[in-house]
Amino acid sequence: MKDHYSLLAPYYNSLTKLVFGNELKHAKSHFAENISNKKILIIGGGDGLDYRDFQDQLAGDYWEISGSMLNRAKVNLAESKLTFCLGYFQAKPHKLYDEIWLHFVLDTMQDDEITVLLQEIKKSLTAEGRIHIADFFEPKNAYQRFLNKGMITFFRIAANHRRTGIPDYEQLLFAEHWQKSSEKEFVGGWVKAQLWQSG
Ligand SMILES: C[S@@+](CC[C@H](N)C(=O)[O-])C[C@H]1O[C@@H](n2cnc3c(N)ncnc32)[C@H](O)[C@@H]1O
């Protein structure tokens, strides 16, 4: 599997902090409450730096398709009880999670990949389980539209992203019978953290 983040991995977190300060970190941790007794699946967690402050409460599995990001996560989250896995997540019978975190990963995927992932993770949630999404939604003003275009172009060149725009997450989720239970906006509504449950 080719590692499309090998060049970016050492700088990724600093770059996001330079542009967005701690807003993306806050979006990722907004719904992370009472997690110490939960089994969590993190998909596309990158270098894991933004989870470091509460890593002692993290237990479950961490899937990444970038070896360089995963190696960083193993170091940054060495005190967690996470198991680190390289590759594409696949549901396993009887292996269930209380929460599945999809943070700034769906916007890197094509619509059909998102749909397949949503179907796969539905098989892996407990009855009360929920997914956390934190991601970029449609930009709200001219400045955000300009930055959004620049970021999409940058990631198409630097990390081989194939998207040319932001996915319509809600349409994709509703089509797969997920129900939104909570939402919080960041960066003036451009970034949202959401909780979804299987309908
Ligand atoms: C834009 S980065 C965000 C990283 C991290 N979530 C963060 O917010 O800092 C997207 C990450 O998702 C990973 N990724 C993309 N598609 C994936 C998939 N299907 N399964 C697991 N990881 C994936 C990439 O390797 C990359 O590390």
* pLDDT single digits (tens) 120-175: 999 999 999 999 999 999 999 999 999 999 999 999 999 999 999 999 999 999 99
- Helix, strand, coil percentages in the chain from 3-state DSSP, rounded to 5: 40, 25, 35
Phi and psi at residue 22, to the nearest 5°: -95, 10
**Amino acid type, 111:** D
Q: How far is CA 162 from CA 4, 81, 110, 149, in A?
A: 12, 33, 7, 13
Strand 125-136, strand 40-43: pairing: unpaired
Q: In the numeric block, which tokens belong to residue 138?
A: 């449609």
* pLDDT single digits (tens) 58-110: 999 999 999 999 999 999 999 999 999 999 999 999 999 999 999 999 999 99
Looking at the CA of residue 155, tell me the nearest atom of ligand 1.
1
Q: Confidence class of residue 199 from pLDDT cuts 50, 70 and 90?
A: confident
Domain ranges of the chain: 12-198
Distance 1 CA to ligand 1 centre (A): 14
Write down the number of H helices and E strands in the chain.
6, 7
CB-based pocket (< 6 A), ligand 1: 5, 43-46, 63-66, 69, 88-89, 103-105, 108-109
Q: In the numeric block, which tokens belong to residue 16?
A: 């996001």
Looking at the CA of residue 134, tell me the nearest atom of ligand 1.
8
**Amino acid type, 94:** H
Would you state the pLDDT for residue 35? 97
Measured from the Cβ of residue 22, the count of other Cβ atoms closer than 10 Å reads: 12
In 81-168, alpha helices (H): 111-122, 142-158
User: In the predicted model, is pLDDT for residue 1 greater than 90?
Assistant: no
Distance 138 CA to ligand 1 centre (A): 19
Would you state the pLDDT for residue 71? 98
Distance 72 CA to ligand 1 centre (A): 13
Distance 182 CA to ligand 1 centre (A): 23
Distance 180 CA to ligand 1 centre (A): 22
Looking at the CA of residue 63, tell me the nearest atom of ligand 1.
21
Residue minimizing CA distance to atom 23 of ligand 1: 44
Angle (CA) 170 115 70, round 5°: 100
CATH topology of domain 12-198: Rossmann fold (3.40.50)
